Amino acid sequence: MAEPVEGADNAVGEISRHRVLPPYLHHLVTGMAALAVLLSIYQIFNLGRYIGYVVLDLAYLDLLVALLLPIVFLIFPMRAADRDRTRPPVYDLALAALSFALGCYFAWFATDAVEQGWEYFAPAQAQYASWILWAVLLEAVRRAGGMALTIIVLVFSVYPTFAESMPSFLSGAQQNFAEAGQYYGFSSEAIFGIPMRAFGKLVIGFVIFGIALQHTGAGRFFIDFAFALLGNVRGGGAKVAIFSSGLLGSMSGSVITNVLTTGRLTIPAMRRTGFGRETAGAVEACASTGGVLMPPVMGATAFVMATFLEVQYVEVAVAAIIPSVLYYLGLFLQIDAYAARKGLKGLPVEELPKVGAVLKAGWHYMFAIVLLVYLLLYLKQEALAPYYATAVLLITNQIFGKRLGWRDVEDFFHETGKILAELVAILAAIGLIIGALSVTGLVGSLATDLILLAGGKVYILLLMGAATSFILGMGMTVTAAYVFLAIVLAPSLTQSGLNPMAVHMFILYWGMLSYITPPVALGAFAAATVAGASPMKTGFAAMRLGSIIYFIPFFFVLEPALILEGEPVQILVILASALVGVLLIAAATQGYLLGFGTFGLSAVDRIARTLLFFGGVMFAFPGSDDIGIGHWEAVIIGLVLATIGLVVAKLGRKVIPEAT
């Protein structure tokens, strides 16, 4: 569920980022992770009421820091050159011990901090502890999240100390180091604010479920299932990648892990059926990126979003259904058009697994996923659902699947510890940004200032948001970029009359685009490594294949019907025209339209494809009062453009054989 290498300097080398620990430290990390999991179960299931000891929510988060933050200093070396050192240096052990002591200190005094308002009136020793935690978090996020995120966190965290010296647009209430430090350590709007609360209440359970799926063999099941269904159809290898990466990605919430897991099987299959290296890598990168945006699990950012919006997570998941369907449909149609234009066939049937045999061997994975969805959608048990689903998965796997031994259980907890530790470092550090904006009062004024800066124009604000989300997504984790813009930009967009859920989804989508867009394109670069392709060429190929995702956020932020908010008839009408638009966009970008055939490379055909592309955009465009074009007007314009494009292509077509 987590993004193990999100925003890291070396996106591909997931394993190389971690130090190989000696046995005693390996067991220590495993034990601390197991304790963190047990603590989450104790708190989320409210087991304290049965034994008469209920842990305060703030103390619970403090204890998670005590158990997980030390792991960061054990598994992430201070320097890349230290990765091969199996024994951590003394300073790493000291930082791990200090992190544990700090978490325990904050947990011990959590009740006093809440009752006595330590965020404003902390005693001297508490102030010292908060300063140390501040410094420790900066080093932790440097190791786990990369230097770019660290610099951003550092600048914002010290901003309160010179807030009054900034230009009026960025000016805020100034605080000294003592005041800022105690606010960061003890306020519910800082280190232990929204990101950490989402982590403690929601993210942990889904991380556990995602890792359980991987360790019980669900990844292989999804891939085999996809091969059985789609392996022999036109462009089968690529369609398998879309299906399997979508399924696995929606469970794991990790782009890079998804690429490196499914890509090792799907990319060779695509190569065998005639796909070029760059195209094969681009398909896998786009499919894996979309998986993180697809319900039911999605990624860690979706849970933070639910906490920000103060809604149940299931509302976020439901809102993401149509956008993710449009994205995958566009990707599927482009692959089909590409395969038709190139004459690519599927894999031989005799080499593919049988659907019945695959389901018979792995039905318990589907059962666990169906149970998870049922608990989320119908019982609304979003915090408890992943724990129940994980328990059922592990039990059924022990009976019907490949049984896990003691070593497998140890590996399970060790992997869980690594991912949870990385998330704690990143999310707690993001809390420093939230705390800085909160303690200076800048949050309240920025929304108004941004509206004035944009001249009250919603489109300018949206373009500002898209550009900023994309730029921040290149240097920060998606979660960090989302949280920053949810505080700074989202209020101004919602004050302009846009739907809050759509606004937050808009920010999430544009932050994710950095995975398939050069110059960063972490997902594409990871896939290029597996495919043996040029990273930059793979990135540009991914941009082309995933082109629809650049438009989808604008469509649903302007028309909430695309996030399932509105009357059923309105939703169906908007969705129908959007589907036609996606079909036309896919045909235009790949040069093939089902029922029409292949477009050539002549100037006339290029004009026709351009008209077809913009016709598709207008079909999918939901209309806007701000520019005086309603939905039906947009559909008519799209129909006219597409018709002219097809007529031009038909008239200018020479003898070109139809693709089969």
Q: What is the pLDDT of residues 217-256, one digit of tens each?
A: 887 888 888 889 888 888 888 888 888 888 777 766 678 7
Q: Are residues 241 and 350 in the same domain?
A: yes
Q: Are residues 358 and 381 in the same domain?
A: yes
With H, G, I as helix, E, B as strand and everything else as coil, classify residue 438: helix
Q: Which two tokens stand for residue 565?
A: 């908010």
- Provide the pLDDT for residue 65: 96
Whether residue 548 contacts residue 586, with contact meaning beta carbons closer than 8 Å, is answered with yes
With H, G, I as helix, E, B as strand and everything else as coil, classify residue 593: strand
Q: Mean of the pLDDT values across residues 425-429?
A: 92
Residue 569: partners with Cβ closer than 8 Å, 6 or more residues away: none
* Structural domain for 372, as ranges: 202-405
Residue 160 has a CB neighbour count (10 Å cut-off) of 27
Last residue of a domain, one of 195, 216, 234: 195
- Distance (Å, rounded) from C-alpha 571 to C-alpha 290? 22
Res 509 pLDDT > 90: no
Last residue of a domain, one of 386, 405, 424: 405
Q: Are residues 53 and 102 in the same domain?
A: yes
- Provide the pLDDT for residue 10: 37
Q: Mean of the pLDDT values across residues 621-638?
A: 85
Q: Are residues 250 and 328 in the same domain?
A: yes
Please say whether the dihedral angle defined by the alpha carbons of residues 58, 64, 65 and 67, taken in this order, is positive or negative: positive
407-441 burial string, b = 16+ CB within 10 Å, else e? eeebbbbbbbbbbbbbbbbbbbbbbbbbbbbbbbe
Domain assignment present for 571: no
% residues pLDDT > 90 (the chain): 39
Res 497 pLDDT > 90: no
Q: Are residues 61 and 170 in the same domain?
A: yes
Domain assignment present for 551: no
- Provide the pLDDT for residue 81: 66
Last residue of a domain, one of 375, 405, 435: 405
Q: Indicate the helix (H) or strand (E) that contains 199.
A: none
Q: Which two tokens stand for residue 185?
A: 């350590």
- Provide the pLDDT for residue 658: 46
- Distance (Å, rounded) from C-alpha 356 to C-alpha 337? 29
Res 435 pLDDT > 60: yes
DSSP state of 570: H
What would you measure as the largest C-alpha separation in the chain, in angstroms? 85
- Provide the pLDDT for residue 416: 93
Closest by CA position to 545, among listed 590, 601, 611: 590
- Provide the pLDDT for residue 653: 65
Q: Mean of the pLDDT values across residues 84-107?
A: 90
With H, G, I as helix, E, B as strand and everything else as coil, classify residue 47: coil
Q: Are residues 349 and 206 in the same domain?
A: yes
Q: Are residues 180 and 302 in the same domain?
A: no
- Distance (Å, rounded) from C-alpha 182 to C-alpha 427? 18
Q: Mean of the pLDDT values across residues 277-285?
A: 92
Domain assignment present for 568: no
- Provide the pLDDT for residue 266: 87
Using pLDDT thresholds of 50, 70 and 90, give the confidence band for residue 44. very high
Beta strand 597-598 with 592-593 is antiparallel
- Average confidence score pLDDT of the chain: 86
Domain assignment present for 609: yes
Q: Are residues 389 and 252 in the same domain?
A: yes
Res 5 pLDDT > 50: no
Please say whether the dihedral angle defined by the alpha carbons of residues 489, 328, 208 and 515, taken in this order, is positive or negative: negative
Q: Mean of the pLDDT values across residues 137-155?
A: 90
> What phi, psi does 606 have (nearest 5°)?
-65, -40
Res 265 pLDDT > 60: yes
Tell me: the pLDDT tens digits for 322-361? 999 999 999 999 999 888 888 888 888 888 889 899 998 8
Res 426 pLDDT > 60: yes
Res 258 pLDDT > 70: yes
Res 211 pLDDT > 80: yes
Domain assignment present for 207: yes
Res 626 pLDDT > 80: no
- Distance (Å, rounded) from C-alpha 158 to C-alpha 151? 11
Res 657 pLDDT > 60: no
Q: Which two tokens stand for residue 203?
A: 């993210």
With H, G, I as helix, E, B as strand and everything else as coil, classify residue 592: strand
Q: Are residues 148 and 293 in the same domain?
A: no
If phi over 0 gives left and psi between -120 and 50 gives alpha, with beta otherwise, what is residue 52?
Answer: left
Residue 73: partners with Cβ closer than 8 Å, 6 or more residues away: 88, 92, 93, 95, 96, 99, 139, 140, 143
- Distance (Å, rounded) from C-alpha 311 to C-alpha 315? 7
Res 100 pLDDT > 50: yes
- Provide the pLDDT for residue 6: 39
- Provide the pLDDT for residue 655: 43
Res 444 pLDDT > 50: yes
Whether residue 297 contacts residue 51, with contact meaning beta carbons closer than 8 Å, is answered with no
Res 627 pLDDT > 80: no
- Distance (Å, rounded) from C-alpha 289 to C-alpha 257? 11
- Distance (Å, rounded) from C-alpha 519 to C-alpha 553? 21
Closest by CA position to 286, among listed 515, 510, 554: 515
Res 423 pLDDT > 80: yes
Q: What is the DSSP string of 283-297?
A: HHHHHHHHHHTSTTT
Tell me: the pLDDT tens digits for 457-489? 788 888 888 888 787 777 667 777 788 888 878
- Distance (Å, rounded) from C-alpha 300 to C-alpha 206? 9
Q: Which two tokens stand for residue 584?
A: 């036309």
Res 520 pLDDT > 80: no
> What phi, psi does 599 have (nearest 5°)?
-90, 140
Judge if the upstream peptide bond of residue 195 is cis by omega within 30 degrees of 0. Answer: no
Res 165 pLDDT > 70: yes
- Provide the pLDDT for residue 387: 94
- Provide the pLDDT for residue 573: 93
Domain assignment present for 274: yes
Q: Are residues 250 and 331 in the same domain?
A: yes
Q: Are residues 190 and 270 in the same domain?
A: no
- Distance (Å, rounded) from C-alpha 513 to C-alpha 473? 8
192-230 burial string, b = 16+ CB within 10 Å, else e? bbbbbbbbbbbbbbbbbbbbbbbbbbbbbbbbbbbbbbb
Domain assignment present for 465: no
Tell me: the pLDDT tens digits for 355-383? 899 998 889 988 998 999 899 888 888 88
Q: Mean of the pLDDT values across residues 492-500?
A: 86
Tell me: the pLDDT tens digits for 530-558? 898 898 899 999 988 888 888 899 999 98
Q: How many domains does the chain have?
A: 3
Closest by CA position to 135, among listed 118, 152, 154, 120: 154
Tell me: the pLDDT tens digits for 604-614? 888 999 999 99
- Provide the pLDDT for residue 8: 36
Domain assignment present for 364: yes
Q: What is the DSSP string of 11-36?
A: SS-TGGGSPPPPHHHHHHHHHHHHHH
Using pLDDT thresholds of 50, 70 and 90, give the confidence band for residue 424. very high
- Provide the pLDDT for residue 14: 42
Closest by CA position to 138, among listed 159, 123, 152: 152
Q: Mean of the pLDDT values across residues 21-27?
A: 90
Q: Are residues 21 and 153 in the same domain?
A: yes
